[in-house]
Amino acid sequence: MIENVPVFLKRWEPGMYLDKVEPNTLPLWVALIDLPFYLWNGKCISSIVSQIGKPIAMDKVTKERCIRQTRQAGYARILIEINVNEEIPDYIKVIYPSENGILGKMIKIKLGYQWKPTRCSHCKVFGHDYGRCMGRPLTEEEIEAKRKKDDEERLKEERLKEKTDEV
Ligand SMILES: [Zn+2]
């Protein structure tokens, strides 16, 4: 890890192409923003983030807070391993039992990422986003924009030709 950004190093082998170097999992630091104090323990935090990936480690501050129990909301930071084929959500829904143990309450926890890889929702791979995707069909707007551009190019060429003809 360099500056908390994972770096992948893999020995190049003949016949290996860049798109195949992509690992299937990716380590990622995720922050659970404004985590209510009653969810501040290792077990809860791990099970919450399990919805999006495999918990690997909590940072030092988070670990200490779990032990100290400050009874205050705050953000917990945990390293998880995500699957590259899945979306990286901005929110996580948590259902926890109320005090009577019968009714469950649902809360939404906002997630923060220091670094989030660019991912294409069409190809389901990291490295480029939907806007720059070469593999997806063009949208109507893009087709329209492309046609306009082609028309302009043609007009330019015709004008140039006219000028050359005059000489
Ligand atoms: Zn793509």
Check residue 130 and give its pLDDT: 86
If you measure from the C-alpha of residue 2 to the centroid of ligand 1, how many angstroms do you get, rounded to a whole number?
26
If you measure from the C-alpha of residue 52 to the centroid of ligand 1, how many angstroms do you get, rounded to a whole number?
22
If you measure from the C-alpha of residue 107 to the centroid of ligand 1, how many angstroms do you get, rounded to a whole number?
33
Per-domain residue ranges of the chain: 18-118
Q: Tell me the CA distances in angstroms from 86 to 55, 65, 123, 149, 165, one per residue in order.
A: 16, 30, 11, 36, 59
If you measure from the C-alpha of residue 146 to the centroid of ligand 1, how many angstroms do you get, rounded to a whole number?
19
> Contact 121/136 with Cβ under 8 angstroms?
no
> Contact 45/30 with Cβ under 8 angstroms?
no
If you measure from the C-alpha of residue 82 to the centroid of ligand 1, how many angstroms do you get, rounded to a whole number?
19
If you measure from the C-alpha of residue 127 to the centroid of ligand 1, how many angstroms do you get, rounded to a whole number?
9
Q: What is the DSSP string of 149-165?
A: HHHHHHHHHHHHHHHHH
Q: What is the pLDDT along the chain (167 residues), one digit of tens a residue?
A: 555 555 555 555 555 555 544 567 888 999 999 998 888 999 999 999 999 999 999 999 999 998 988 788 889 999 999 887 788 899 999 887 766 667 778 889 999 998 777 888 888 777 888 888 988 998 899 999 999 999 999 999 998 888 877 76
Ramachandran region, residue 106 (left: φ > 0; alpha: ψ -120 to 50; beta: rest): beta
Distance of CA 165 to the CA centre of its chain: 56
Predicted model pTM: 0.62
If you measure from the C-alpha of residue 84 to the centroid of ligand 1, how many angstroms do you get, rounded to a whole number?
13
If you measure from the C-alpha of residue 20 to the centroid of ligand 1, how many angstroms do you get, rounded to a whole number?
14
Check residue 20 and give its pLDDT: 47
Q: Which of 71, 77, 69, 84 shows the shortest CA–CA distance to 46?
A: 77
